[in-house]
Chains A and B, each alone.
Chain A
Amino acid sequence: MPHDLAPMDLSDATSAELADRAAALNAAYRNHSAFAVMSRAMDDPSVGTVALVSSFGAESVVLLHMLSVMDRRRPVLFLETGMLFRETLDYQRDLAERFGLTDLRLIRPDDAALAAVDPDGTLNTRDTDACCAVRKVRPLEQALAPFDAWITGRKRFQSGTRAALEFFEPDGARLKINPLACWTPEDVRDYMDNNRLPRHPLVAKGFPSIGCAPCTTAVAPGEDPRAGRWRGKTKEECGIHFVNGRMVRGPAPKADETMGETIVAKDIVAEDRGVEAPAPELAADAPAAPVIARDDGFSAEDWHAPFDALADLTEAGAAAVDVPSDADPAALAGRLDAARIIRVDFPSFSDGRGFTIARRLREMGYTGRLRARGVIADQYAMARRSGFDEVEVAPQLAARQPEDQWLARAQWRANDYQARLRG
C-alpha cells in the first residue's frame, strides 16, 4: 500500500534517475484510467509532492473537477499572466468557488522583471517567446520550486509535439504528470457532459483552446483546435512544456525525430510579426459528412431535407424530426403520421435515455425510419433491438470505428433474450 511506505528523498533527483522513475511509473500505471492515475499519483511516495497547474482554459474544468472530488485542499497553481481574457478570470473565480478549492495560488509575473522587459505591456507584439518567458515560464518555475511533480491537462491529440505523450515524463528537475494523455476530444466532452460541468464562456464563441488574449483567436469549424493559439506563428507551445526535457520553441517536430535530440529555440516571430494568417484548409483526408450505419454496413447520407427540432414543431408535425435525449416522446402524439424520419440524439454514448425513447416511439405506433445519433459500434445491436433502424456516425467516429466494427454487430437478431421472452 502506498500510504504504508516512507516517502523517498526526491530533492536531488538526477535527470537519469528521473527518467527511470518516469519509466517505472508509466509501466506501473499503464493500465490505469485518467482518474486513477491522478488520484494514485497524488499519494504515491515515488512521485512526491504534487501541484495541479491549470490555465482555467477550455478543458481545464476536467482536471479541476477530478481534483475537487479527490481532495479539494490540494494546491492548484493558476498563471495570471496579466494578459488573460476577462472571461477566463470570471470563469476561474466561478470554478474555484463551485469546487471549493482551498489552496488556489495565483501566480503572477515578477513586477521588476516586467518593468525591465515589458513596461508598457506590448512585448507580445514584438517577441511572443520573450513575453511567454516573463509572464508564464519563469513565474511557474518559481512557483513549482517546492514541488516534486506537477499535473498538466495535456493530451496526445492536441498537437504533433504531444502525439507520443506518456502519463509521466521527466521535466527538468521534476516529474510532469499527464493524466489525460490518452483522452480523445470525445472523452473530454463526455466527461463534461456526464458531470454537467460549466464551459469556459469563450468556447461558445469559437475558442476551443484559450491562452492570453493578445495571442488567442477563434478557429473556424473543422480547423485544428489549437490553430487559434499564436495564429500566424509557427509556435505550438508557450515554453512551459518541453519535449524530452528541452524547451520547444520551433515548428512542431515529428515525434520520432525528437528522440534524444536538442530542439533549438529559434526566433521566427520577428519575420511575420503582427500579420494574421488565413485559417488553414481542412485536412484532405478528414471525412466531410457523417455516414449511416445499417445492417449492410456504411452508406452515404440519403436524407437531404432539414430536420425540425421537436420543440419547434407545429400542430401538423414534420417529415423529419430531431428528438433530444431529455424529450418525452408523448409530445409527438398525434403527429407521428406526418413523420418519415425521426432522429434521436445521444449526448454521450454512456447516456442511454435514447434507447427508451426509441422503444416508446415504437410502442406509440411509429413505423417510419428511426435513427440514433451519438452511439458507438459496441452499441449497434442495442440500438437495433430498441427499435432503431440505423445509426448516424460522425466522421471522426467513422474513422476511429470503421465499417467492420459496425458490421460485427449486424447479427443483432441472434442470441436475443428479449425475443425469447416475448415470442
Chain B
Amino acid sequence: MYQYDDFDRAFLDERNRQFRAQVERRVDGALTEDEFKPLRLMNGVYLQLHAYMLRVAIPYGTLRSDQMRALADLAERWDRGYGHFTTRQNIQYNWPRLADIPDMLDHLATVGLHAIQTSGNTIRNVTADHFSGAAADEIADPRPVAELLRQWSTDHPEFQFLPRKFKIAITGSPNDRAVTRSHDIGLRMIERGGEAGFEVLVGGGLGRTPLIGQVLRDFLPRADLLPYVESILAAYNAAGRRDNKYKARLKITVLEGGLDEFRDAVEAEFPARRAAFTGVDQALLADITDFFAPPAFRDADEGLLDAARAVDPVFRAWTDTNLHPHRRADHAIVTLSLKAHGATPGDATAEQMRAMADLADAYGYGELRISHEQNVILPHVPKDALPALHRELKAQGLATANVGLASDIIACPGMDYCALATARSIPVAQAIALALEEREAEVGQLKIKISGCINACGHHHVGHIGILGLDRAGVENYQITLGGDGTERAAIGERTGPGFPADRIVPAIERLVDAYLDLREDADEPFIDTYRRVGMDPFKAALYDQAGDTAHAA
C-alpha cells in the first residue's frame, strides 16, 4: 500500500500549517464566516446544522490498520466516540470544535491521511472499486492510477475554483462496483491489442438531474491519462455554467452542448497538455505500482471452511452473504456490515474501528477497505481463518449477515445532521431494516437507497428501490423510484407516483417486497431482474391499490 515520501509529507505539513493559521484568524474574529468559508471547504470543514463537520478522505477506499486506528483516535479524542463512513469513501466527524480541527489534521498526517478537497468546487477524493487488488474478476488494480490522480488533483492550481464539485471514480473490473457511470469522469481499465488503457466516461451524476455517463473516448492509452483528464477539466472550467449552481455540474455542460461538442473542446485542448507531460508521471506511476504489490499470501486449508459451514448455520448464513470471491481460491474478501438492524447506516464507534484494525492485523495482512455502500472490508482473509474471524466479529456487533440484502441500506445523514436535507433518512432506513429483517434472506439481493433531499447523497436514483425524502408544506413525504442500478448495467430509477408520509413509507416498501415475492419466477431471480421483466405496473398496483392496502393492513 502507498507510503508517503518526503514530498507528500512536506506538502501535507505545510498545508496543515496554513490552515491552522486560518483557523486562528477565524477564532479570534479576524476572518468572518463568509471569508473563512472557501478556505475551510478546501480542507474538508463544513458547517452543519449543529456544529462544524470534518470530512476526511480515504483515498480509493484503502486503509492500513494504523490509519484505521488514527480514525478511531479522532472519534475518541475530538468527537463523540464515533464516525460516519459516507457513500464516497470518506469518513465524517459531526461534532468537532473548530479550534481542535488543526490538531485532528496533524494527527491524521502522522499516518498519511488528510481532508484536502473533500468539499468545495474542486476535484474531490478519487474513489475506486472497494475490492481492488483482491477481486477474482479484476483485470488490473486501479489503485496506483487512483493514487496518481490523487497527487495530480491535489492543489491543482487551475482547478480549485471550478463551476462546481467534480468527482472521479475508477474500476479495474468489468463488474462495476465503483458506480463509474454516476461520476463526472468514470474510468474503466481495459486492454486493447495487448495495450493497457482506459475507457473514459463523462457526464454521469445523480443529484437533481440524474444522468448516466457517456463514453467520451473508447480507448485512451495509459500514458495519456493525466493530460486527457486535464483537458476535460480545462474544457469544463471554461464552459461550465456559473450562473446557476444547479446547472453547473459537467453533466449539464455535456447535456446542453452535446457530447460531440464537448469532445471537440477536449481534443482541441489535448495536444498542448500532452506535450507538457514528459514521462515523469509514468515513471512515478511505476514506483507507485510497486507499493501496491499484493501481500505475501500464505496457503490456507479450504476444508476448514466447509466443516464450519456444515455445523454452524449462523456462520453459514454470514458466509453466504458477506464473502466475495478472491483472486486466490484459498482466500476470501470479507465485508463487515455497518448496517446492524436498527443502527445508523455507516456509523462506527472508535471501539469498533480499533477492533476492525486489530482483526485486519490478525487475519487480513493489515489491510482494510471502505466501500461506497458504507461498509468496511477485509480484502484478503485466508479461508481457514474465517470461523475465528466470525466469532470475534460477533462479539463486536459486526457480524450482521446482510451484505447486499434489503437491510444493507445506503442512507445519507438526512435532516438529523445535514443543513440541506428536507426529510429524515436514517430513521427510515432503521425502520425498514427492522421491518424486513426476518425475511430478507428469502428476499435475496435488493439494494435500497435513501436520500433526504433532491441532492441525492444517498444515491436513491440507482437503488433497486430508491426513496427520496422531501418537504411538502412542512410535512415529510417520501417518493419511491424503482429499477435503478449503479453497476455496469447502470439505470436511473423510475418514479412510482405520489409519495408517502413518514408513517406509511415502511408499509409501502413491505408491499413492494410482497409483490416481488409473488412475481418472481424463482428464488434465483433477484428483485431488479423481476422488475426488468414485468415492468412498473404490477408494483404500482401493489403500492397504490386501496384493496391491497387494506388487505395488508388487516
Contact = CB atoms under 8 A, between A and B. Distances in A.
Given A32-B33, A328-B238, A421-B280, A415 B14 contact: yes
A31 B10 contact: no
Interface string B345-380: 000000000000000000000000000000000000
Contact of B158 (A328, A352, A415): A352
Interface in A326-370: 328, 349-353, 355-357, 359-360, 363-364
A363 B152 CA distance: 19
B244 A356 contact: no
A422 interface: yes
A76 interface: no
Given A194-B242, A353-B238, A415-B11, A423 B278 contact: yes
B162 A363 contact: no
A422 B277 contact: yes
A421 B121 contact: no
Nearest to B37: A33
Looking at A3, A352, A423, which has the most chain B CB atoms within 10 Å of its CB?
A352
Given A33-B33, A363-B272, A421-B226, A355 B161 contact: yes
A349 B415 CA distance: 31
Given A352-B237, A422-B280, A33 B157 contact: no
B262 to A, nearest CB: 15
B52 interface: yes
A417 B154 contact: yes
Interface in A188-225: 194-196
A1 interface: yes
Nearest to A73: B473
Contacts of B160: 352, 355, 379, 382
A418 B244 CA distance: 31
A182 B7 CA distance: 39
B388 interface: no
Nearest to A423: B280
Given A187-B34, A351-B242, A378-B39, A422 B158 contact: no
Contacts of B39: 378
A183 B35 CA distance: 9
A21 interface: no
Contact of B32 (A182, A360, A418): A182
Interface residues of A, number: 44
A422 B276 contact: yes
A386 B151 contact: no
Contacts of A351: 161, 242
A146 B278 CA distance: 70
Contacts of A355: 157-161, 237
A72 interface: no
Contact of B98 (A31, A352, A353, A414): A31
B155 interface: yes
Contact of B155 (A31, A36, A417): A417
Interface string B244-257: 10000000000000
B258 interface: no
Nearest to A384: B157
A33 to B, nearest CB: 5
A398 interface: no
Looking at A196, A353, A363, A379, which has the most chain B CB atoms within 10 Å of its CB?
A353
A160 B161 CA distance: 35
A349 B33 contact: no
A74 interface: no
Contact of B244 (A3, A36, A195): A195
A420 interface: yes
Nearest to A156: B32
Nearest to A330: B268
A381 B157 contact: yes
B102 to A, nearest CB: 16
Interface string A11-54: 00000000000000000000111101001000000000000000
A182 B14 CA distance: 30
A356 to B, nearest CB: 5
A34 B34 CA distance: 8
Contacts of A138: none
A386 B49 CA distance: 37
Contacts of A34: 34
A246 interface: no
The 9 closest A-B pairs by CB, nearest first: A352-B161, A423-B280, A385-B157, A363-B272, A196-B243, A382-B157, A182-B32, A415-B11, A355-B158
22 contacts: A1-B49, A1-B416, A3-B474, A32-B33, A182-B33, A187-B34, A350-B161, A352-B160, A355-B158, A359-B158, A360-B272, A363-B272, A363-B273, A363-B276, A382-B157, A414-B10, A416-B155, A420-B284, A421-B226, A421-B281, A422-B277, A422-B280
